[in-house]
Amino acid sequence: MSLTNISSSKKYPCYLLEINDVKIMLDCGLNYNNIRRFESGLWLKIPHFNTIEVSSIDAVLITNYENIVALPFLTEMDGFRAKIYCSQPTMEFGRLLMLDMALSMDESSKTIFDFEPKYDKYLKKN
């Protein structure tokens, strides 16, 4: 048995557990704090998926909604075909968190020049 840490940070877990010929990915955490704070220059520290053979993963086990965020980066890699396991609440809250992240990323890429003021409602019409 072996456990390999492929996390990009201690706070955002992602491990590959190997037992005999079975490989299980445990969590897919991702540091997304700069998105929450609307910092410029968005960056995401995803797990080091490039250090493993993605096609050899048999299953992915997600323990909570915050550790599902890097999953789309894994599932879109060539060769990924593992089954994904998580509770229904983890899936639902994770989906909402990722949707919120996507909206935040879209908003943070805008500048003040991207917004057009709506003065019509303040102008008097004759």
Q: Give the pLDDT mean for 9-34.
A: 90
Residue 7 near residue 67, CB atoms below 8 Å: no
Tell me how many domains the chain contains: 1
pLDDT tens for each residue of 28-87: 998 776 555 555 555 667 899 999 999 999 999 999 999 998 899 899 999 999 999 999
For the whole model, what pTM was predicted? 0.76
What pLDDT does residue 30 have?
84
Q: Tell how strand 15-19 and strand 59-61 pair up.
A: unpaired
* Domain range for 59: 2-105
Residue 20 lies in a domain: yes
pLDDT tens for each residue of 111-123: 444 445 444 444 4
CATH number, residue 13: 3.60.15.10
Residue 13 lies in a domain: yes
Residue 123 lies in a domain: no
DSSP 45: B
CA–CA dist 42, 110 (Å, integer): 12
What pLDDT does residue 42 have?
53
Residue 116 lies in a domain: no
Residue 83 lies in a domain: yes
